[in-house]
Amino acid sequence: MLIDNHNRVINYLRLAVTDRCNLRCNYCMPEEGIDFAKRKDLFSMEELCRLSSIMVSQGINKIRLTGGEPFVRKDLMVLFRHLASLEGLDDISVTTNATLIGPYINELKSLGIKNINVSLDAINKDVFERITRRNQYETVYENLIKLISEGFNVRINCIALEGQNIEEIIPLVELTKYYNVSVRFLEEMPFNGGSKSFNTIKWDYKAIYEHIAKRFDAIEKLVSEKTSTSINYKIKDYKGTFGLIPSFSRTFCGSCNRLRISATGDVITCLYGKPRMNIRTLLRSENSEEKIKQHILATIGSRSKTGFEEQEKYKGVFNNSMTSIGG
Ligand code: SAM
Ligand code: SF4
């Protein structure tokens, strides 16, 4: 079992399988001039499978695949099949923009993958296409509905973006009237590859809640898991739920159970910090398994208590883009 220096069990790995993406969401990366990693610096599929096995043998029982857009990797299903075969891995999930997942939905279902997070910042086509800078709205919407109707546990992630999609918040909550989905609103973080910097946000989780509460009366607060990053609610008689994720306010650090590995092997113990080590070179060396286990233990043994503490240590962290960190 992996236990950090603040006595928190680390059992959740967010594994980025690529830094590439077919969208250009304006809060995540600049329109052009993005410094993608060289292909040789990305994990091969065989390495991703081996790395996951090592991490599961160390006590990780939940893996979320992320990116960049995970499904731009044409060999992604090889990894899903491998993960589905790993004993001790109880929860396999993916975060996707839902543009490319369509052809894989049936196989994902047959592998027993249940949890799919779809990033969707607008229900309105024009707003969606302005934010993502691509015209993929119909495909995304069709795939989203297919995922819901096939019975996946779908969570929609929407970032509240001042001046861009605030009028989308209520229609997104309304989706929960008709569909059994969880719509979660995230605070914007300044991880956008340097295209915009800010130290405060208008739309924090409290402001988002007040905005929703003005429109709906019968909001019930739900009990959430201790390690959950979202505060969850339900509107009486609606099928789905909605949640707020204080990703900028960081109220959840005390129960953080997660570790991130980027597509180039950077090990990130906190979103608000710099990578602590790179695992890719180790994975390509002799006795790799033993070396990786030792390094992971050492890294987990020196975590900051909160994102604020971590941010103090690593000035300049906000130049990162989410496409390399994985969200
Ligand atoms: N491409 C996939 C997607 O969009 O779902 C997976 C990778 S994406 C980087 C993972 C998550 O990070 C998405 O839910 C996205 O909305 C979120 N994200 C990206 N940039 C962000 C930012 N600046 N602030 C808050 N969340 C961000
Ligand atoms: Fe791509 Fe996801 Fe970033 Fe949007 S948020 S640009 S879909 S990686």
Check whether 318 has a pLDDT greater than 70: no
d(CA 19, ligand 1 centre) in Å: 12
Ligand at shortest distance from the CA of 118: 1
159: pLDDT confidence band, cut at 50, 70 and 90? very high
d(CA 28, ligand 1 centre) in Å: 6
Query: Percentage of the chain surpassing pLDDT 90?
Result: 75
Question: pLDDT digit string (tens) for 71-111?
Answer: 999 999 999 999 999 999 999 999 999 999 999 999 999 99
Question: pLDDT digit string (tens) for 32-82?
Answer: 888 899 999 999 999 999 999 999 999 999 999 999 999 999 999 999 999
d(CA 160, ligand 1 centre) in Å: 12
Atom of ligand 1 nearest to the CA of 29: 20
314: pLDDT confidence band, cut at 50, 70 and 90? low
d(CA 68, ligand 1 centre) in Å: 8
- Residues with a CB atom less than 6 Å from ligand 2: 21, 23-25, 28-29, 67-69, 97, 119, 322-323
SS3 annotation, the chain: CCECCCCCECCEEEEECCCCCCCCCCCCCCCCCCCCCCHHHCCCHHHHHHHHHHHHHCCCCEEEEECCCHHHCCCHHHHHHHHHCCCCCCEEEEEECCCCCHHHHHHHHHCCCCEEEEECCCCCHHHHHHHHCCCCHHHHHHHHHHHHHCCCEEEEEEEECCCCCHHHHHHHHHHHHHCCCEEEEEECCCCECCCCCCCCCCCCHHHHHHHHHHHCCCEEECCCCCCCCCEEEEECCCCCEEEEECCCCCCCHHHCCEEEECCCCEEECCCCCCCCEECHHHHCCCCHHHHHHHHHHHHHCCCCCCHHHHHHHCCCHHHCEHHHHCC
Return the residue whose CA atom lies nearest to atom 8 of ligand 2.
68
Range of lowest pLDDT (101-115, 186-200, 255-269, 289-303): 186-200
Q: Which CATH number fits domain 12-325: 1.10.10.10, 3.40.50.720, 3.10.20.30, 3.20.20.70?
A: 3.20.20.70
